[in-house]
Structure 1
Amino acid sequence: MSLILPTRRDFLKVSTAAAAMAAAGVHTSMGAPDPSRKLKIGFIGCGGRGTGAASQALQADSNVELWAMGDAFRDPIDKSLESLKTLLKDKPEKFNVAEERKFVGLDAYQKVIDSGVDVVLLTTTPAFRPMHIKAAIEAGKHVFAEKPMAVDGPGLRSVIESAKKAKEKNLALVDGFVWRWTQANREAYKKLHEGAIGDIRTIYSSYYTGSVDRYPKWNRTNTKTDLEWQIRRWYYFTWLSGDHIVEQAIHSIDKMLWTMKDEPPASVVCVGGRQARPGALPPGKYQLGKADGTTTDVESAGGEYGNIYDHFGAEFRWENGVKGYHFCRQIGRCYNANTDEVVGSKGVYQGESASKRHVIIHSDNPWRYQAPSGVKDNGYQTEHDEMYASIRANKPINTSERFTKTTMTAIMARMAAYSGKEVTWQQAMESKEDLFPKDLKWDSKLPVAPVAIPGVYELT
């Protein structure tokens, strides 16, 4: 079957009914989950975020159990299962992971899918997300997939095709863009869409964090192959993570798209670079700033911090003249912030995740979000609660109309930064830049690609 590339306008042909199904309150009307049949959960990618997702999934429904686990390595499985049993020590009935259903290796995902599960949690390294989504949907499984959904154009197009099949098969396909699932953000963006600040003029977002020193114990001396080393330290390699604008700061880009009712931008210009990651410096000893303001000493042999950037600044342009400005940085001992600001013709919206600030100011009708007394607004839990309720009601949620757009918007920003070019939506959607290594095996030779140099890096 030939693959028809969706244009930007194709993405906008979303019916009013479909848009309403994605709105904040729709899933709360489905009633309590039907506990008549136990759902078996398969957990693929057993790291920290995955363990959190598994915990939330096990608490989302009264009649589910963890049935199978899979990871490239055995140690994350054991660590995750121990953590889950500690977190849910009062719910031992939720765990039924027999030893023969703990799968290890590059094909572990397929073994989990084939083990008799009903739902799969896909929380591996982002590079593998497209193939895992495809395999799960083809096998008829409901899917929760952590963001991002892909790291390049070919991967994203695969996800789009899988999402279409999920709709045809009446399967849930739910994302981990957590802010979409919080009541505070839902109310704030509902206000924006109702015209509370008038016509949208400009959108600004920031995601400034510390250096995110992940997986410090893994290096070339205690890993056997290039692939093991890179997967163990996946965050620092563009082919695995997509770079931090795609892996982390994509949350802020998602809120930009939300502001625009998920209309993707027409084009983007983006700058970025790499100044402070130790691997960008000659071999030697360095002091690395951490997110909490402290420091840690590291010794760099060169290469272990991969080829990703440590800062980006993007300017998105929409066809109606709206511009969106996004800035992100991962450098220690610097100013940190995670903010959103939307300037309209009649007011300004300001949101800040850390302080839970959601206000409309400079408006004839100022507004501040007030959380209901005693109500916990945990988007990580809500995304699973609503997914399982929809499965029980035989009205499975499919959020692909928005998560595919957000993922491509972040990817096109990275493409623009790496190349130094303006990148249009259509260019990004038609991109042949496939970052995934061919014929991947444990003993594959995987030289680290050089850090991208704008004006030199070629897009395909």
Structure 2
Amino acid sequence: MKEQEIVSRRSFIGSTALAGAAASFPYVAKGEALKSDTIRVAAIGLGGRGSGAIDQILSAPKDLEKSKGIKCNTKLVAVADAFAEGASVQRRLASFKKKFGEDRVDVEGKIFNGLDAYKQAIDSGVDMVVIATPPGFKPQQFEYAINQGKKVFMEKPVASDVTGVNRVLAAAKKAKEKGLSVGIGLQRRHEERYIDCVKRLQDGAIGDINLLRVYWNGGGIWHRGRQEHMTEMEYQVNNWYHFTWASGDQICEQHIHNLDVGCWIKGMYPVKANGMGGSEMRMGGDRSLSQIFDHTFVEYTFEDGTKMYSQGR
């Protein structure tokens, strides 16, 4: 193999967006000298989105070599999950081993269970941490990963309330000071079609933009029910989408994508918001089963007077 065909782990992390290999994984890295050519990854949260991100990370080397001739390697070496002992996590790990090989999914003795398990996974000799837990848990997990000097890919939303957002911003500032790469799962910021379209709009293709409408209208939300052995905390964590402290509600958990695009087009964030919402039909209106709204409407105002109307259902 020619020397120029080999990319070191340093140059891979320093110059490559994994989004180039897996479009929905917007990981852009700028790193320091590292010890080998394998990026060792810890997964914090291995549910649907977490397993999707890990699949993309493990697929990235093949995709990068095929599309750009870049040779690199990624390896899952630790997992932390509130329900790591459950069958779903074990099924996902078995699927990864079958698809990518046991040499690239080497988590023996490093599967950690519980709400504080993220610390053990982060401290397991990893280079990069993937945080794909409910928003209510992300601030402390992100903060810990940065304090431990790890590069991070974190799914959106990064928090479920203002206190959490401020905690993430403070940790992000520290990451910048340390030169640690951080990627966030607002994938539309990395999609060429969106990038091109937003640039054209900002360049005046349709003139001044003084009104935007953004929507997130979808079907029902999953609910896993309550099992007899569960504590109240276990029940709420297992059904995190339905509890505002954990999810931030639908407007935060999902509508963040389209709200972000609206702000991106304007190149600024709103200075005022006036909204309403309610829960009329979800879970029969039983707030002990679901706290989140089933409809929302918010009128945002930007500093220049532009309005952005947001609708969610």
1:312 to 2:296 alignment:
yes
1:70 to 2:54 alignment:
no
1:272 to 2:294 alignment:
no
One of 237, 245, 249 as aligned partner of 1:243: 249
Q: Deviations over 1:53-112 (max 9, x none)?
A: 0111112233110000000112143132123234xx2544321111x1000011110000
Length-normalised TM-score, structure 1: 0.57
User: Aligned to 1:93, what secondary structure does the other structure show?
Assistant: coil
1:39 equivalent in structure 2 = 39
User: Mind listing any 5+ residue stretches in structure 1 that lack a counterpart?
Assistant: 1-21, 282-301, 330-460
1:82 equivalent in structure 2 = 94
Q: Deviations over 1:14-66 (max 9, x none)?
A: xxxxxxxx9x99x99x9xxx995211100001100110001111122331100
1:368 equivalent in structure 2 = none
One of 303, 318, 329 as aligned partner of 2:288: 303
Aligned pairs for 1:405-420 (under 5 A) are none
Length-normalised TM-score, structure 2: 0.82
8 Å contact from structure 1 (residues 77, 102) kept in 2: no
Identity %: 39
- In structure 2, how many angstroms separate the alpha carbons of the residues matched to 1:78 and 1:279? 34
Give the counterpart letter for 1:116 in structure 2. G
One of 143, 148, 162 as aligned partner of 2:152: 143
Give the counterpart letter for 1:322 in structure 2. T
- In structure 2, how many angstroms separate the alpha carbons of the residues matched to 1:111 and 1:36? 22
2:196 equivalent in structure 1 = 187
8 Å contact from structure 1 (residues 279, 303) kept in 2: no
One of 155, 164, 174 as aligned partner of 2:183: 174
Give the counterpart letter for 2:93 in structure 1. L
- In structure 2, how many angstroms separate the alpha carbons of the residues matched to 1:123 and 1:225? 23
1:457 equivalent in structure 2 = none
Greater length-normalized contact order (CA 8 Å, ≥ 6 residues apart): 1
2:68 equivalent in structure 1 = none
TM-superposed CA distance for 1:267, in Å, is 0.5
8 Å contact from structure 1 (residues 35, 63) kept in 2: no
Give the counterpart letter for 2:75 in structure 1. E
1:126 to 2:135 alignment:
yes
Q: Deviations over 1:241-265 (max 9, x none)?
A: 000100011111111111112x110
